Amino acid sequence: MKQFDLKVDTLRELNQYLHDSPDNEVHVINPEGRHCVAAGVNHDADVTIDGHVGYYCAGMNKHAHITVNGNAGPGVAENMMSGVVRVKGGASQYAGASGHGGTLIVEGDASSRCGISMKGIDIVVAGDVGHMSGFMAQEGHLVVCGDAGHHLGDSLYEAVIFVRGSVGELGADCVEKEMTEDHQAELARLLAAAGLDYPTDEFRRYGSARKLYHFDIDHADAY
């Protein structure tokens, strides 16, 4: 295992190592809120970060498993492609923004605009999410085990949102939908992946009313 102490080692040294090296276990200490920690990792690394990180931690992640033992600033796992990012504390705004794949787990609360423009990522938040979460979300799942703030799923495309707690005013074109057995199974899979154990029937499902964007049922396979 390789260790980086960001009090001593530079962020560039850490990220360059993560980009270049096939070493699959990296331990980062003293991140002290630095930005872009472990951004752009492109192989099957296992990265553990002890402390709070700043903006864009694990951004663009592909394949890697990245755990933050602390809080994450804005844009954690933004544009993630695959892999798993787990934040043990809370996450600031636009967590998982425009993520294409992989799983982001936030064990605390996530702030506003969680999953904005998500394109296939699965996001599981053990706590609450702030306002405008799932804004223009296109594909993937957003699971909220706590409450969701105002304007959830505004201008939603085909992403699926599950909320266990209360929901503020719904965003434009976002509606509550029936929870089928398939949805319960999907939700159970997501919760299990996050290590959470809530009965799936405690959740409600939200999706797009498909009135705001040009949706053609004949092209449903394309979504």
Q: Which stretch binds another protein (CB under 8 A): 60-68, 76-84, 90-98, 176-184?
A: 90-98
Q: The tokens 């923004």 sit on which residue?
A: 97
Cβ distance to another protein smaller for residue 67 or 112: 112
**54 is a contact residue toward another protein (CB under 8 A):** yes
Decide if residue 112 touches another protein (CB under 8 A).
yes
Is residue 71 a contact residue for another protein (CB under 8 A)? yes
**Residue 92 binds to another protein (criterion: CB under 8 A):** yes
If the CB atoms of residues 135 and 162 are measured against another protein, the closer one turns out to be 135
Candidates 55, 56, 135, 157; binder of another protein (CB under 8 A) is 55
Minimum distance from CB of 46 to another protein (Å)?
A: 24
**Nearer Cβ to another protein, position 132 or 190?**
132
The angle at the Cα of 179, spanning 159 to 114, to the nearest 5 degrees, equals 35
Question: What strand order describes the sheet that includes 25-29?
Answer: 2-5, 25-29, 46-50, 65-69, 84-87, 103-106, 119-125, 139-144, 160-163, 204-208, 174-177
Stretch that binds another protein, among 130-138, 156-164, 172-180, 181-189 (CB under 8 A): 130-138
Place of tokens 């938040």: 125
Backbone angles phi, psi at 24, to 5 degrees: -95, 10
